[in-house]
Amino acid sequence: MEQSPSCLKLFGSWASSYTHRVQLALKLKGLEFEYMEEDLTNKSPSLLLYNHVYKKVPVLLHLDRPIVESVIILEYIDETWTDHPIMPIDPYERAIARFWCHFADDKLGPAAGAVFGSSGEDQKAAVCQVHENLKLIETELREGAFKGRRFFGGDKIGILDIVLGCGSYWLAVFNEVMEVKLVDSEAFPLFHAWLRDFEEQKEVKEIIPAIDTLLEYARGIRQMMLSLKDTTSSTTTTTTTAAATTAATNNSNNNLVIESGTSV
Amino acid sequence: MATAAKGVVLLDFWVSPFGQRCRIALAEKGVEYEYKEENLWDKSPLLLKANPVHKKIPVLIHEGNPICESLVIVQYIDEVWSNNPLLPSDPYERAQARFWADFVDKKIYECGTRLWKLKGEAQEEARKDMIEILKLLEGELGDKKYFGGETFGFVDVAFVPFSAWFYSYETCGNFSVEKECPKLVAWAKRCMERESVSKSLHDPHKVHEFVGHLKKMYGVE
């Protein structure tokens, strides 16, 4: 189906892994779209109008109708443009994919956000939580639902690869910025191999920002968060850190790195 | 797995609104199933094996395959048994339905828990939040018969179990759902005229009694 750019518009943010998910899906489907970069510290009236409930990116506008929440957008894209499917056909496979997409957003994402938003003993505990979550995924890859597969979607990238993949690069960034070992190739060999294969895909390379840019960005936010902790009293430190962590681990469809440390 | 390889089994807990979503969906489709009540303070080996990740109910086991997460289960039921579809056929309408079901998931239970668990300012905040959440949902319902329009659908299934908790929310939060959101109360009554709903939900006073037990357990007055 021929689609002119004006019928598809994506409101997003360059460092938002939730935005990357949608960009990747659109790319995999060969769909042209207009991209609107949002300044999350000064959200556009359009964004606030189209996503009046959460006021967050990404928002996909198709024929002037908004769709919000990244996983919902992915399913919408898949159902509207049926070439190069990203969801499995079998209902049980679909249920498994949806379950793990939820897991990525409800458990792994917030756990990674908690690592970023903490330090010392709290951070150690947060790192443990990430490892617990990765262990579960590793088990599925080794002997469970995804045994023997190169990607979660099989031979090709599917919805779960997109959801887990766009976001997992932050684990490598956090490794560097905070010198924590999140994705250990020895502890999680299959997850590590999958992530490497995912990041090698042509379309993925075109979407994910350069690692240096992400590192610089993450360092900046981390610096700001830590300096907030140092310049406030012990009571407010807890509140500030908690607020930063809460902001970092906020609702899904909220880029956890961008939102931390800023009032949005 | 030590269970029938055929048929449908639902691992559930009597008062769980998440479990009730599954019961309603199965009833709407006319699917026969075996209901297994779980003791959440002494979970069965079957539950722990069927949901090793979260160890939670509900779990639907269909032909030996476990499906977890209530909205994932409801969509699975809708896709396997295609009579009386719960999700609309149009992709945009489906996206809207998924959005509002997800909104219920994100907001209601968490806010409801704060309402009965907390006191003072924090409880007042929870009350304000709950009223805001309910008003947003009422806005989405508008003057429609159901969230699904003329037909009982996905969002109705996702939200209606929580209507049995309205009495508890009102009592803990000291407000009136009828006063704040009369259309929601009317909608809930219409839903209760459906056997799938009336047979799945419990009396609001029983729910409130259960909340009372939870409060004792957590040392909340």
Give the integer Cα–Cα distance in Å for A204 and A23: 9
Q: Given CB atoms, is B76 within the 8 Å cutoff of chain A?
A: yes
Give the integer Cα–Cα distance in Å for B198 and B178: 20
Residue pointed to by tokens 């790319």: A27
Q: Does A253 have pLDDT greater than 80?
A: no
CB atoms < 10 A from the CB of B128, how many? 13
Contact call for A67 and B95, based on CB within 8 A: yes
Contact call for A67 and B102, based on CB within 8 A: no
Give the integer Cα–Cα distance in Å for B93 and B91: 6
CB atoms < 10 A from the CB of A238, how many? 12
Contact of B71 with B105, CB cutoff 8 Å:
yes
Q: Given CB atoms, is B68 within the 8 Å cutoff of chain A?
A: yes
The H or E element that residue B11 is part of is strand B8-12
Chain B environment of A80 (Cβ under 8 Å): 91
Rounded to 10 deg, the angle between the A211-230 and A234-248 helix axes is 150
Q: Can you say whether the dihedral through the CA atoms of A248, A249, A255, A259 is positive or negative?
A: negative
Cβ neighbors of A151 (< 8 A, separation 6 or more) are A157, A158, A161, A194, A197, A198
The closest CB to that of A95, out of B52, B72, B94, belongs to: B72
- Of the ranges A233-237, B100-104, B137-141, which one carries the lowest mean pLDDT score? A233-237
Q: Given CB atoms, is A65 within the 8 Å cutoff of chain B?
A: yes
Q: Does B221 have pLDDT greater than 90?
A: no
Q: Given CB atoms, is B120 within the 8 Å cutoff of chain A?
A: no
Contact of A70 with A56, CB cutoff 8 Å:
no
Provide the 8-state DSSP code for B161: G
Give the count of alpha carbons within 13 A of A107, CB side only.
18
Q: Given CB atoms, is A229 within the 8 Å cutoff of chain B?
A: no
Contact call for A72 and B98, based on CB within 8 A: yes
- For the entire predicted model, the pTM comes to 0.91
Chain B environment of A67 (Cβ under 8 Å): 92, 95, 99
- Helix or strand or coil: residue A100? helix
pLDDT at site A117: 87
- Helix or strand or coil: residue B12? strand
Q: Residue A258 carries which side chain, given as an amino acid letter?
A: I
pLDDT at site A232: 56
Contact of A65 with A123, CB cutoff 8 Å:
no
pLDDT at site A6: 58
The closest CB to that of A53, out of B68, B73, B136, belongs to: B136
Rounded average pLDDT over B51-58: 97
Rounded average pLDDT over A238-248: 37
- Of the ranges A45-49, A246-250, B131-135, which one carries the lowest mean pLDDT score? A246-250
Mutate to test the interface with B, among A1, A50, A90, A98 (most CBs of B within 10 A): A98
pLDDT at site A180: 86
The closest CB to that of B79, out of A67, A91, A136, belongs to: A91
Q: Given CB atoms, is B8 within the 8 Å cutoff of chain A?
A: no
Contact of A15 with A214, CB cutoff 8 Å:
yes
Give the integer Cα–Cα distance in Å for A57 and B207: 37
Contact call for A94 and B76, based on CB within 8 A: yes
Q: Given CB atoms, is B90 within the 8 Å cutoff of chain A?
A: no
pLDDT at site A242: 37
Contact call for B72 and A67, based on CB within 8 A: no
Q: Does B149 have pLDDT greater than 90?
A: yes
Chain B environment of A85 (Cβ under 8 Å): none
For B82, the closest chain A residue by CA position comes to: A91
ipTM for the complex shown = 0.95
Digit-coded pLDDT (tens) for A6-33 = 599 999 999 999 999 999 999 999 999 9
Contact of B9 with B60, CB cutoff 8 Å:
yes
The residue count for chain A:
264
pLDDT at site A54: 97
Q: Given CB atoms, is B47 within the 8 Å cutoff of chain A?
A: no
Q: Can you say whether the dihedral through the CA atoms of B31, B37, B42, B44 is positive or negative?
A: negative
Contact of A151 with A197, CB cutoff 8 Å:
yes
pLDDT at site B90: 97
Chain A environment of B1 (Cβ under 8 Å): none
Give the integer Cα–Cα distance in Å for A117 and B80: 42
Q: How far is CA B74 from the centre of its chain?
A: 11
Q: Does A93 have pLDDT greater than 50?
A: yes
Cα B170 to Cα B127, B132, B178, B180, B210, distances in angstroms: 9, 14, 10, 11, 15
> With bands split at pLDDT 50, 70 and 90, how would you rate the model's confidence at A249?
very low
Give the integer Cα–Cα distance in Å for A202 and A105: 25
Instruction: Extract the tokens encoding B184.
Output: 């929601």
Q: Given CB atoms, is B56 within the 8 Å cutoff of chain A?
A: no
Contact call for B102 and A92, based on CB within 8 A: no
